[in-house]
Amino acid sequence: MCEAMTRKETITLTVTSLLSILFTIFHITDEISRGMEHARLNMVAPLMVVALWLYATLLLVERRSGLIIILLMSIIGIGIPIAHMTGAGLIGRRIANTGGIFFWVLTLFLLELNAAVAFVLSVQRLWRLRSRPAQ
């Protein structure tokens, strides 16, 4: 594999992961602003998870540990829209006919799209690293 391709893949993985983080923050913020979530200490855990995702994306993207974190966070990013859209759907219809539904659904779709690409890229990079010793 040529070095330029690896660099391009690293940049692409970093950008898609950063976009997933951004859309996750948009989604959390939108739910708080609608009163669907409360901005209390319960938000510390999700924000720490997002902080870990950001750390792995910016500082560990070239290491196996960073790729595993990005892979796991991408699975969560893919799962957020699925969790919202299945079962009762649209949070039990609480958001269905409210203002701003377009932004809420758009951030969910963009989150899932970017998280899916980050998932595929991290799996691809981990597959290539499988024969190399751990860093």
For residue 20, give both structure tokens: 């997933």
Reported as a single tens digit per residue, the pLDDT across 80-127 is 888 887 755 555 456 666 677 788 888 889 999 999 999 999 999 998
Is the overall model pTM greater than 0.95, yes or no? no
Reported as a single tens digit per residue, the pLDDT across 38-62 is 778 888 888 899 999 999 999 999 8
- The burial class, CB within 10 Å (0-12 / 13-18 / 19+), for 27 is buried
Alpha helices in 1-135 (DSSP H): 3-33, 44-59, 64-85, 101-129
